[in-house]
Structure 1
Amino acid sequence: MHVRRRFNLLAVTIAATPLVVVGCTADQKSAVHGGHARAASTPSLAVSPADRTKNVPISAEVGTTVRDGKITAVKLTDDKGRAVPAEPREDGTSWVPSRPLENSRTYTAEVTATGDSGRTTTQKTTFTTMAKPTTRQAVTSELLFTSKQTYGTAMPVVVTFDPPIPKEARADVQRRLFVKTDPPQPGAWSWESDGKQVEYRAPDHWKSGTKISVRSALEGLPIGKDAIGDTDHSAASKIGRQVSLDIDNATKQMSVFQDGKLLRKIPVSLGKPSTPSSSGTMVIMEKFDRTTFDTRGEPNGGYVVDVDDAQRLTWGGEFIHSAPWSEGEQGYTNTSHGCANVSAAAADWLMGITQVGDQVTVKGTEVKLDQGNGFTAWNVSWDEFIKGSALPVPAGLRPTPSATTHPGAVAGGSSPAPAPSKSNAGG
């Protein structure tokens, strides 16, 4: 079941993995033997796709392999002579076009490498992209990170998929998911075991004021034999103030913190024993001034009720919301269907304090939060989180960050089901 959203989700349709055209970049300086420098050599260079290659996916990148030098220029043009902008990957293995290539078009890449002596080598390759597929399945995804928003410091970048991405395709999909942060805070991607959701975060919460831009560059990406991506989306937003909520079932109190300072304690009524609230570390996913909980067909449900000031915590339907009907029990007894019930006045106050992306921790209830039931990137340790990456995690992020990423570099892949089932079984 679905509820109305307060912020828009970017719908992305993807499909499987492209022939990723990448190579390696090496910057090798002239060796010195017995005090005498080796004779300067002209750099050797190879470029992919190979010259005259046909049926190249529109997700193709310009791969480079260089010896005795480094890449100093890359120029990509279409068959009308128009320049196609591109950015280098962090590791220098390839240049990624800033927009998908077009089907059934011919492109020319001209790459120049320069050695230490100043000698240069230039290679050209011309390739033709594949025709628009008509028989491959589209895999739908949502980028749950939208432009022009202010998110909380625990906000992960989340992409969901329908159908789920199989294990063998996740590395290629992840390689086409890019995140840039300014100031730099390197992070990693982690897949849920069912392949329906992948999340990106840094080892620590985002710093307030951080600017984050995301690109899910999945258009034209082949995934296996039968699927292909058909959408490329980008979003850019910023991180706001630090706010967190701690809910303790033992005391039936919610503690609200801003920048580490306790602002207020609020009595709560959590899920009764037959419908307990989940204990774990969650993130506010979306906020509604008013919404409808329709639990007909849900286990232990069957009711329809309008609620005010509701903030979603899980896909399964756990919310923080106004519950004037239980104000006498709040702080004393659990009576809800799994939600955190607060007074009407407290719920209204919270809506003015919290942001999507704020962390909410619940402890002491009868059940633990299921990984993947919501934005659960912070429900595990960093060491456990990075085990879910389909690509090797950079050494500096295993287990603590030491490397920094230039905010202008493309941070793809190191960091890309039905979509996760949403329920409004709150109460």
Structure 2
Amino acid sequence: MAKLKRRLTMLVVIAAATPAVLGGCTTERKPGTRPAEGAEGWAPPELIITPADRASDVPITAEVGAAVKNGMVTAVRITDDKGVEVKAEPREDGSAWVPISPLQPQRTYSAEVTATGAKGKTVVRNTTFTTMPKSTKPAITSTLYFAGNRTYGTAMPVTVAFDPPIPKQARAHVQRRLFVKTNPPQPGTWSWVSDGSQVYYRAPDFWRPGTTISVRAALEGLPIGKDHVGDADRKATSTIGRQVSLEVDNATKQMSVFRDGRLVRKIPVSLGKPSTPTSSGKMVIMEKHQYTTFDTRGEPNGGYVVDVEDAQRLTWGGEFIHSAPWSVGDQGKTNVSHGCTNVSPAAADWLMNITQVGDLVSFKGTEVQLTEGNGWTAWNVSWAEFVKGSALPVPAGLRPAPTRVPHSGAVAGGSPTPTPTPSVAGG
């Protein structure tokens, strides 16, 4: 199958939350008496901040960390060496404040952090640090498959791909710089493809229609292992649209189309013949093309060039749903394609008008199973398996696993190459 050189450049926003107040306990005392300074409930806050004062060669991905005892952080102010304020947002756990844009190399920054105790006592700590020169190490290319101002399907995973892949020992460090915020809140987690070439973010269930998702991949200048740095800082915000899903059964050669959980149409299909079978598994629509060309010269079982209409990509390996007027007589009866899902021109046109990038497409009963990382395979495993792929601890509320992956019609309320390289199959 030939390679279709296509990559979406996408941007990515941080989740902000307010740290919880640590309340102090009080003991009964006689009127007019006052506990000694330092007694429980009267102890002043203890505050340690990072980077350490006068630190140098600090990465431009530096965050202002704050460890507090007997209180909470109530103010953070970060300024550069010209006195300009650097805007920052807190991590969900309140452990650090993350600048909303990368810091600049070889600049000096100051941070003033105020903590307030349960009885109103405050403590202020300051630090000044200098960032490192612009790195000369090669950058790991990251691609965020989540664009801004789009409408996506309810199965859309936030996907970041890496070239070269991220080594296992560096994945937690990278994952800490990937942020997702949903409105209304629908918490999820990241999960890595085993070879480190992709990482997916999703919730236990499909996104609720109307959800706004904001993403940030804050990787520019991030040290990754000993030999690489991150390449860019990307942000994007988009919305989840109506719920649409497709189910294809090889036994019947029929595609069932669901909208908002209701079956709206059945479409005859012709799948991959035994020598070039279609994969069974849960896929996600990745791209939609009104017109494209399948060029399979030099690929196994290929050697042809054909123009097709109304094509929707499902895998990096070249499996598409597309219009196939040449196989209408076989659709619903016999598999004759090179791995694609053939439908009639009228059905392909209708599908293009109802589907969205991010819709789930499930196949069953074919000769081979979908390979991890061949497309956006975040839904091809159970939630219990998905969370095992996180390089960081999964929040307690997300650990209980559903007994099964949600039915594709329900409304929700490793590729061996470093970065998936699209190739085009014919069919």
Common fold by TM > 0.5 = yes
Partner Cα separation in structure 2 for residue 197 and residue 245 of structure 1:
24
Q: Residues 155 and 307 of structure 1: is their aligned pair in 2 closer, same or farther, counting only changes over 3 Å?
A: same
- Aligned partner of residue 173 in structure 2, secondary structure: helix
- Aligned partner of residue 123 in structure 1, secondary structure: strand
- After superposition, residues 135-174 of structure 1 pair within 5 angstroms as 136-174=137-175
Displacement after TM superposition at 1:8 (Å): 4.1
- Aligned partner of residue 272 in structure 1, secondary structure: coil
Amino acid at match of 2:98: V
Displacement after TM superposition at 1:3 (Å): 3.4
Q: Is the 8 A contact 1:327 1:343 kept in 2?
A: yes
Partner Cα separation in structure 1 for residue 393 and residue 296 of structure 2:
42
Amino acid at match of 2:196: G
- Aligned partner of residue 124 in structure 2, secondary structure: strand
Displacement after TM superposition at 1:41 (Å): 1.5
Displacement after TM superposition at 1:4 (Å): 7.2
- Aligned partner of residue 51 in structure 1, secondary structure: coil
Displacement after TM superposition at 1:426 (Å): 2.9
Quote the residue 1:288 is aligned against: 289
Quote the residue 2:411 is aligned against: none
Alignment of 1:345 onto 2:346: yes
Quote the residue 1:325 is aligned against: 326
35-44 or 168-177, which moves further after superposition?
35-44
Quote the residue 2:24 is aligned against: 30
Partner Cα separation in structure 2 for residue 11 and residue 42 of structure 1:
43
Partner Cα separation in structure 2 for residue 331 and residue 102 of structure 1:
60
Quote the residue 2:96 is aligned against: 94
Quote the residue 2:111 is aligned against: 109
Alignment of 1:189 onto 2:190: yes
Q: Is the 8 A contact 1:26 1:68 kept in 2?
A: no
293-302 or 179-188, which moves further after superposition?
293-302
Alignment of 1:251 onto 2:252: yes
- Aligned partner of residue 174 in structure 2, secondary structure: helix
Displacement after TM superposition at 1:10 (Å): 2.6
Partner Cα separation in structure 1 for residue 419 and residue 3 of structure 2:
12
Quote the residue 2:399 is aligned against: 398
Alignment of 1:71 onto 2:65: no
Q: Residues 342 and 169 of structure 1: is their aligned pair in 2 closer, same or farther, counting only changes over 3 Å?
A: same
Partner Cα separation in structure 1 for residue 363 and residue 229 of structure 2:
40
Quote the residue 2:365 is aligned against: 364
Amino acid at match of 1:92: G
Task: Give per-residue Cα distances to partners, 1:357-395, cap 9 Å, x unaligned.
Answer: 000000110111111110111111101001000000001
Partner Cα separation in structure 2 for residue 64 and residue 119 of structure 1:
17
Quote the residue 2:200 is aligned against: 199
Quote the residue 2:336 is aligned against: 335
Partner Cα separation in structure 1 for residue 294 and residue 223 of structure 2:
39
Quote the residue 2:9 is aligned against: 9
- After superposition, residues 296-315 of structure 1 pair within 5 angstroms as 296-315=297-316
- Aligned partner of residue 388 in structure 1, secondary structure: coil
Partner Cα separation in structure 2 for residue 204 and residue 92 of structure 1:
27
Moved over 2 A (4+): 1-5, 7-12, 25-39
Partner Cα separation in structure 2 for residue 72 and residue 235 of structure 1:
29
Partner Cα separation in structure 2 for residue 169 and residue 332 of structure 1:
50
Q: Which 5+ residue runs of structure 1 have no aligned equivalent?
A: 13-24, 402-416
Q: Scaled by the length of structure 2, what TM-score is found?
A: 0.90
Displacement after TM superposition at 1:279 (Å): 0.5
- After superposition, residues 33-72 of structure 1 pair within 5 angstroms as 33=27, 38=40, 40-72=42-74
Q: Scaled by the length of structure 1, what TM-score is found?
A: 0.90
RMSD: 1.7
Partner Cα separation in structure 2 for residue 422 and residue 45 of structure 1:
51
Q: Is the 8 A contact 1:27 1:68 kept in 2?
A: no
Quote the residue 1:407 is aligned against: none
Q: Is the 8 A contact 1:171 1:391 kept in 2?
A: yes
Partner Cα separation in structure 2 for residue 319 and residue 229 of structure 1:
32
Partner Cα separation in structure 1 for residue 20 and residue 278 of structure 2:
53
Question: How many pairs are equivalent?
Answer: 398
Q: Which 5+ residue runs of structure 2 have no aligned equivalent?
A: 13-18, 403-416
Amino acid at match of 1:420: P
Alignment of 1:261 onto 2:255: no
Partner Cα separation in structure 2 for residue 333 and residue 9 of structure 1:
39
Q: Is the 8 A contact 1:3 1:292 kept in 2?
A: no
Amino acid at match of 2:61: S
Q: Is the 8 A contact 1:69 1:113 kept in 2?
A: yes
